Amino acid sequence: MSLPKPSPSRRHFLKSVGATLSLPVMPSLMPNALGASKALGTAVAESASPSRMVAVGNLLGYQLDSLFPKTPGANYETTRLLKPFESVRDQMTIYRGLDHGVKGGHFAVHSFLSGVLKMDAKGRPDGNISLDQLAAESVRGRTRFPSLTIGSEGGIHGGCQMSWTRSGTRVPPIPGPKELFDKLFVGESASRLNQVKDRHSLHGSILDAISGDAKNLGRKLDSEDRDKLDEYLNSVREVEQQLQLKEQWVEVPKPEAPIDEPKNVNLVEDLPLIYELMALALQTDSTRIATLEIGGDFMPQHLGVQGGYHSLSHHGKKQENIDALLVLEDYQMQQFARFLEKLGSIKEGNGSLLEHTSVLFGSGMGNANAHTNHDLPILLAGGGFDHGTFKQLPAEGHGKVPLSNLYLTVLQRFGVERDHFGTSTGTFV
């Protein structure tokens, strides 16, 4: 039996020549045309050395006993996992006692850069937007890519889940160095450019064509539907702005590649190259924000270690498993330290690229063996902060400082004017 077709009087559209755009259901809506006025952003003067932000996360955490020193302050001892950072010791800070106060083990790791579990985000003004994506909102249009999200689509729990939009949508990652290289340096063919330009033009004409009648329509709606209409129009305006920002980069040539196009091998062997490409992305101002998650496709076998990364993280306090994990973690720390050294070697303005880049490193997992998300491993480098110390903070109880306080401080240093983020209670002191 066929279902009855919806009555035209109950279906609402934005109509233009050759285009129809559905509207949300509004009980008080009368059939009419609708549109959105353009909302163009105002250009902001750029400094010679703009602020940048990088966040590197690990899905399975680190061995905290081999990471954290025992002596707070500038005279902290060098632990096994901190050995690679001796050359940049005065340009980084180690924090202990910070977390987001969430629970859920592997299922809570996605809150690392947001401070908020996805299931708790509904009704919050910013949802579970992540640190990088909030920063990216403030620089749209100034660089070709508002942000770059790099990570795996394999492994446990569906791949990279570090970056989240305001609407709670996961930002899909760039999966390897080849895709990242192509995004940064490989230009489009002439036919492809024409297709992109035509598509942008079509989208723009649709948004223009449906504009003009919003005020008239608003007079016919009750207060609840006016709020719904305003929310919808804001979404349309946001789409329009994003299309305009993308269009301005269509014909701008990409920078020349200083290295040959790579091939994807495996995340272990690809990691140094990914870091190099991230540094190039910042150096060429292709983006000012980048994230990298290490996890799903990081295979121990490529470092001569037997067993799976996830299974080893549940080490059961067996020393042979912990020793195997430390081989993997040593390697990750070495590559991250070289990345900091690389940024420090690139001169920019009156300093280095590292001095203008806040680089966060850590995990949403405190102890994978126990499935806990408190007492997270957190390192912060660069960004013009006062570094060179190990800061031991109260892990719980009176005086506990949320990790989101540090994030809010990083956001403000980046240039984002706001007084809260995630579960922050203030800026970091």
pLDDT tens digits, 285-302: 999 999 999 986 788 888
Assess whether 108 and 178 both reside in one domain: yes
Q: 11 in a domain, yes or no?
A: no
pLDDT at 25: 41
Cα–Cα distances (Å) from 127 to 144, 147, 322, 414, in that order, read 26, 19, 37, 21
When divided into structural domains, the chain yields a total of: 2
Assess whether 297 and 378 both reside in one domain: yes
Q: 3 in a domain, yes or no?
A: no
Residue of higher predicted confidence among 199 and 314: 314
Q: Final residue of a domain: which of 200, 233, 252?
A: 252
* Among the listed residues 273, 249, 248, the one whose alpha carbon sits nearest the alpha carbon of residue 259: 273
For residue 332, pLDDT over 80 is answered with yes
Assess whether 148 and 293 both reside in one domain: yes
Q: 410 in a domain, yes or no?
A: yes
Assess whether 73 and 195 both reside in one domain: no
For residue 198, pLDDT over 60 is answered with no
For residue 178, pLDDT over 70 is answered with yes
| CATH number of domain containing 146 | 3.40.720
pLDDT at 16: 44
Residue of higher predicted confidence among 220 and 259: 259
Residue of higher predicted confidence among 127 and 228: 127
Residue of higher predicted confidence among 118 and 219: 118
Assess whether 84 and 200 both reside in one domain: no
Q: 197 in a domain, yes or no?
A: yes
Assess whether 270 and 395 both reside in one domain: yes
pLDDT at 192: 55
Q: 125 in a domain, yes or no?
A: yes
Assess whether 267 and 393 both reside in one domain: yes
At 186-196, the pLDDT tens digits run 876 556 556 65
Query: Domain of 215?
Result: 190-252
Among 26-30, 176-180, 209-213, the range scoring the smallest mean pLDDT is: 26-30
Q: 391 in a domain, yes or no?
A: yes
* Among the listed residues 49, 87, 86, 55, the one whose alpha carbon sits nearest the alpha carbon of residue 351: 49
Q: Which residues partner with 148 through β-bridges?
A: 290
Q: What's phi and psi for 296, nearest 5 deg?
A: -45, -45
Q: 311 in a domain, yes or no?
A: yes
For residue 33, pLDDT over 90 is answered with no
Among 25-39, 261-275, 360-374, the range scoring the smallest mean pLDDT is: 25-39
Q: 14 in a domain, yes or no?
A: no
- pLDDT band at residue 49 using 50, 70 and 90 as cut-offs: confident
Assess whether 161 and 209 both reside in one domain: no
Contact yes or no for 284/47 (Cβ under 8 A): no
Assess whether 173 and 148 both reside in one domain: yes
Assess whether 385 and 239 both reside in one domain: no
pLDDT at 233: 62
- pLDDT band at residue 267 using 50, 70 and 90 as cut-offs: confident
Assess whether 196 and 344 both reside in one domain: no
Q: Final residue of a domain: which of 202, 228, 252?
A: 252
Phi-psi sector, 40: left (phi>0), alpha (psi -120 to 50), beta: beta
pLDDT at 230: 67
Assess whether 98 and 215 both reside in one domain: no
